[in-house]
Chains A and B, each alone.
Chain A
Amino acid sequence: MSEWSRDALGERIFQILRDDILSVEGLFSPQSNLVDAGLDSLAVTQLMLAIEESTGIWVDESLLTPENLESAETLTALVHAQLQGD
């Protein structure tokens, strides 16, 4: 079982996106669309590497569907499910 609660994971992923991956202004929120905010092929790989560094889990790019990358929230749901071994 992972040490990450869903809320803590969501906070961490949002922080990575906001501070390290995307060049976003104040309007960026956990519900913001990631592709519209500038998530591209390189950014998504850097994001997965940062999540791996934080949580120890690698999310394969084949799982990164448009639905899963809709927002920081939907991405958190995917990563959390992976951490729970779903």
Chain B
Amino acid sequence: MVAPGADRPARVRLTGADCFLRAFDAEIARTNGASHLSQLVLRLGPGFDGGRFRALVSEAAEAQPILRAPVRRKFWLGAPVFDLRAGRSRPAPPIDEHDGGDAPDVDAPFPARFEQRLNERCSLRRGELLRFDVVRYRGDAATDLAMTWQHLLFDGSGSEHFVRWLDACWRGEQRVDTLPDPDELASPSAPERSASERGRAARSWQSWLESLATRPMRSLAGPRRRTPQALRWDVLTLDGSDSERVVAAAGRRAGFLTPMLFYLAVAIRAHHAVARARGLDAGSYVVPLPVNLRPRGTAGAVFRSHVSLLWFQVLPDQVEDLDELIGALKAQRLAAIKAGHIENGTDAMDFARFAPTRLYTHMARRAFGGELCSFFFAYTGEFLGRLESCFGAELRNGFHIAPVPPSPGSCVAMSLRRGRLNVTHAHQRGVFSDAEQSVFRDSLLADLVRGT
């Protein structure tokens, strides 16, 4: 914990994973004028106090200048940093309040403005890293709150840690000039390696990716898609009994601590169903899976991205049978962990921090014929687990929306809240027709509900 009044650094380096995300932001800005933004959505019951929330965010931003710090390279050289000193003079993260009309049912659609917010440009260089949208419903019966941020400010876990911390400040259990974890600005645990060992590790990771590129791969968006940004998202929330069955099946079929492989398999099959309906030969499905690098047994770092990536590749033939697909994913995950590719990926991304921003996406596109991957995927487990209320109101539902560039144009994120499974699908307009969206949803439901 940082002691109140203790000296804070003037700058904080981006992690290698942050630089990866910064490259995506540059790409999205260049191709369609928007940003690489993530969103966390909370559906709250009565009791939310907008004025108090505004004051709290303002105090938090004052105490934590990284929340509004410009991201830049010092003198255009070296690794990019969060410029905390400059952040101190930037405005607090904006909070826009909107009238939502009559109170929604817990499963009602979410406000369209949340979706619109993901299509705006937020400049890293100006420190436009975080903002909130609050939709109040008539009679103060409910509130929907969206936290939208530049994806390199927090990763998925970090964003939940941040909301927990902010809520603890709201309850008076934390002070805004402290954070709940001593690693807030430190790098996550990593094996000690010499520079040459790290160089070999980085080259090994690069070779691994190049080996995946020896097979063709085509996303549903197609390569180098240049269209105005129009990211949309849908959320599918299963009821309690269906979710219970799905969770049990995921543990049984993929392993109780590795259920993400079941969910990833389901997402691959949904994309495959669309490709088949379209008559598209996808060649293979290549999907990165984020791996949390936070030290075990700690709450973990709040800011920046502390993840590595495990890559999976399956052929269309392997997708036809769900259990065979899960088996293939298990084998690939084990082989990648054995080969040290989690640590290798961290080293590779760390090295590339000093390279030009576009290098990441350029290398990936060159390897994969203009594509980055087939789609993005994340499974984040229990969403704000054990937090029954947030900012003074019952927390009825909540989930993440992960961003996705125009190509591959599709991202699936899954999490659990109060025993219910939320499946969010972010997709660029035009990548899925209405009919294809039905095919996609049917495939998800068939595997998740009818198949279990």
Contact = CB atoms under 8 A, between A and B. Distances in A.
Interface of A: 21-24, 35, 37-46, 49, 61-62, 64-66, 69
B297 A38 contact: yes
15 contacts: A23-B296, A23-B297, A23-B298, A24-B297, A35-B257, A39-B296, A41-B258, A43-B296, A44-B258, A45-B258, A46-B337, A49-B337, A61-B257, A62-B252, A69-B256
Interface of B: 251-258, 260, 291-292, 295-298, 330, 333-334, 337-338, 342
Contact of A40 (B251, B257, B334, B337): B257
Given A42-B337, A49-B338, A66 B296 contact: no
B249 to A, nearest CB: 12
Contacts of B297: 22-24, 37-38
Contact of A61 (B258, B295, B296, B298): B258
Contact of A41 (B257, B295, B338): B257
A69 to B, nearest CB: 7
Given A24-B297, A37-B297, A38-B297, A45 B333 contact: yes
Nearest to B293: A42
A49 B253 CA distance: 20
Nearest to A28: B297
Given A23-B295, A38-B297, A61-B330, A44 B337 contact: no
A39 B297 CA distance: 8
A64 B337 contact: no
Nearest to B295: A23
B257 A69 contact: yes
A40 B255 contact: no
A73 B330 CA distance: 26
B256 A42 contact: no
A66 B257 CA distance: 9
Nearest to B337: A45
B370 to A, nearest CB: 32
A44 B297 CA distance: 14
B330 to A, nearest CB: 7
Q: Interface centre among B297, B330, B337, by most A CB within 10 Å?
A: B297
Contacts of A66: 256
Contacts of A64: 255-257
B333 to A, nearest CB: 7
A24 B255 CA distance: 24
Contacts of B252: 62
Contact of B296 (A22, A65, A69): A22
Contacts of B298: 23
Given A24-B297, A38-B296, 17 more contacts: A21-B296, A35-B257, A39-B257, A41-B260, A42-B342, A43-B296, A44-B255, A45-B333, A45-B334, A49-B334, A49-B337, A49-B338, A61-B255, A62-B253, A64-B255, A66-B256, A69-B256
A61 B327 CA distance: 11
Contacts of A21: 296
Contacts of B295: 23
